[in-house]
Chain A
Amino acid sequence: MDILTLLHRNIKWRFHNAFTIVITILQPMLWLVLYSAVAGQSMKGIGIANYTAFVLPGLIVLVSFGACSSSGIMNYLMKADGSFYRILIAPFKRSSIVLGQVLEAVVCTFIEVIIMCIVSLFFSVNIATGFKGILLIALLVFLTAFFISGLTYAISLCLPNEVMYETVMNAIVLPIFFLSTALFPADGLSGGLKITVNLNPFTHVINVLRDLILQGDIVFQDVSFVILLLIGMCGISFSWAFHRLKKETAL
């Protein structure tokens, strides 16, 4: 109930500041519409028939980062207008406060992912694994957004202002995006670059999402591994966010 109260209020904030949805989806949408159309021509040469479908999983991760990063910004705004303090002295569990905000970012991510999926339909993107695949994609998107949102929540409480926060988030998001299989297959990679890309957990998330979109069969071993990986990561990011919030009152 506590979580729903905060979630409802945070969603209202999001729709009141609807430009945060537009801004965070703008870049992934440009990648989806323009980049996939341009790069798609040359990718046909290496056996990728529908590059828009190929690039969509990476853009789902990118849009998650965008939506969840703006959730961290909310902490700075709440501190500036005093509501952060008001909520902290209310009879609310600290875990509910974190969850209320993290779940709002998850909701925002889902809205943006759904918009992207609808747009990608116009580029002949289909989910090859059908309804089961859609459910698994939804679960993976949920866990990915939950992890990132917990991370951004904790980072926003570690850094003193929005400018620092934005700088750090840019420094995190772009390397993670480019050092993954978001834009190209990892088959041709070798040496240190291959190891780095494989160490990036989002490589595995993107690969499984891609398989669910492009391949007809669900490889449960791969899917289970990624789900367990994400659950572990969610646990770590939530614990860190919770710990940071508790530290706010331990000055």
Chain B
Amino acid sequence: MTAICVNELVKKYKSGVQALDGLTLTVKEGEIFSLLGQNGAGKSTLINVLTTYLSPTSGNVTMFGKDAYREAAEIRSKISCVAQRTSIDTHLSLTENMMFQSKLYKVPKSEAIKRMEMLISCFGLEKYLKYPVFSYSGGVKRRLDIALNLMSNPKVLFLDEPTVGMDIQSRMAMWDMVKKIRNDFGTTIFLTTHYLEEADELSDTICIMKNGKEVIQGSPNSLRAYLRQDMLKISFSEKKEAEKCFDTLKGTIALKESDLRHDKIITSLKSGRSDLEKTTRLLLEHSLPFLGIEIIQPTLEDVFISLTSDNGKEAS
């Protein structure tokens, strides 16, 4: 069953900035859906529209068959959102925060108490009960923020860049938590991120967006060619040298025009290590002056370049 259906969504702010430009995507119920995009791609605007905070300029958003703009009141009781910045009331205690959230969503008191106890245990918050909320570390505050957003047992949980600024251990703990929420509570999770590996690790479906519109949507497996492919990077001291070598290398390894990026050549590896060996040999044989050669993981920018050159889809 479809949880969220976004069709030709446009959001143009009154300031004139166009954040969403005809975006279309579909989220299935019970899945982890990752929206991948760089800063300024329109991810947060999309979350704001989906959570009924902002109204769209044009296009349709339906959630569980209801129009998110016209039937916002009904939608609001089914969703919850953990924003980029934690939104905990520091003047309330941990339990008061959770009970306040339950009252916001009109959860009966007895049910709210049971759910609060379960969530406190599930998110390992027991040992923080006796301390004031303002003294919590960033990670604990984030856990509490997610826990209190689950108080209303939402059908869809929006997570806006939940791991931004976290160290790798905290990120992995967060990934486990996101999977646990989906598995234990059956919640549909819609998360935004600009980390490729995060989307790859967590998602059932990934949508990559740029400049307010989707570039591609599919399962991590179907996007494997873009997300997990090793890249070969050759660095030069200046652009001219990169251009000179580009012409020489073109005949040896299949290069596209888009692989030449200022003073670097970055291309996806077709034959793994043999491409690396072949290229290094050629560079040395022709005494081409390069600074370094290495195999790297693709960045989001690499994926965009790869996608736009492969599919002819361009978001400028």
Contact = CB atoms under 8 A, between A and B. Distances in A.
Interface of A: 1, 5, 9, 12-13, 16-17, 81-83, 85-92, 249-251
B77 A91 contact: yes
Nearest to B47: A89
Interface string B56-100: 000000000000000001001101010101111111100010001
B90 A81 contact: yes
Contacts of B224: none
Contact of B106 (A86, A89, A91, A249): A91
Contact of B87 (A1, A12, A13, A85): A85
18 contacts: A9-B100, A13-B89, A17-B91, A82-B83, A82-B86, A83-B88, A85-B81, A85-B87, A86-B81, A86-B83, A86-B104, A88-B53, A89-B76, A89-B81, A90-B105, A249-B55, A250-B14, A251-B13
A90 B73 CA distance: 8
Given A81-B87, A250-B54, 11 more contacts: A1-B106, A9-B100, A12-B91, A12-B96, A81-B88, A82-B85, A82-B86, A89-B51, A89-B52, A89-B76, A250-B55
B103 interface: yes
Contact of A16 (B76, B77, B87, B91): B91
B86 A249 contact: no
Contacts of A81: 85-90
A251 B81 CA distance: 19
A91 B76 CA distance: 5
Minimum-distance CB pairs A-B, first 4: A82-B87, A16-B91, A91-B76, A90-B104
A251 B86 CA distance: 22
Contacts of B14: 250-251
Interface of B: 13-15, 51-55, 73, 76-77, 79, 81, 83, 85-92, 96, 100, 103-106
Contacts, number: 65
Contacts of B54: 249-251
Contacts of B52: 89, 249
Contacts of B85: 81-82
Contacts of A249: 52-55
Nearest to B50: A89
B81 A13 contact: no
A9 B89 contact: yes
B53 A85 contact: yes
Contacts of A90: 76, 104-105
Nearest to A13: B91
Contacts of B13: 251
A89 B89 contact: no
A193 to B, nearest CB: 43
Contacts of B76: 89-91
A89 B92 contact: no
Contact of A92 (B79, B90, B91, B104): B104
Contacts of B106: 1, 91
Nearest to A4: B103
Contacts of B90: 81
Contacts of A16: 91
Nearest to B13: A251
A92 B76 CA distance: 9
B191 to A, nearest CB: 16
Contacts of A87: 104
A5 B89 contact: no
A19 B89 CA distance: 18
A16 B53 CA distance: 29
Nearest to A89: B51
Given A12-B96, A251-B13, A91 B73 contact: yes
Nearest to A248: B53
Contacts of B86: 81-82
B159 to A, nearest CB: 14
B97 to A, nearest CB: 10
A5 B277 CA distance: 68
A88 B55 CA distance: 13
B55 A85 contact: no
B75 to A, nearest CB: 9
A49 to B, nearest CB: 45
A89 to B, nearest CB: 5
A12 B95 CA distance: 14
Contacts of A13: 89, 91
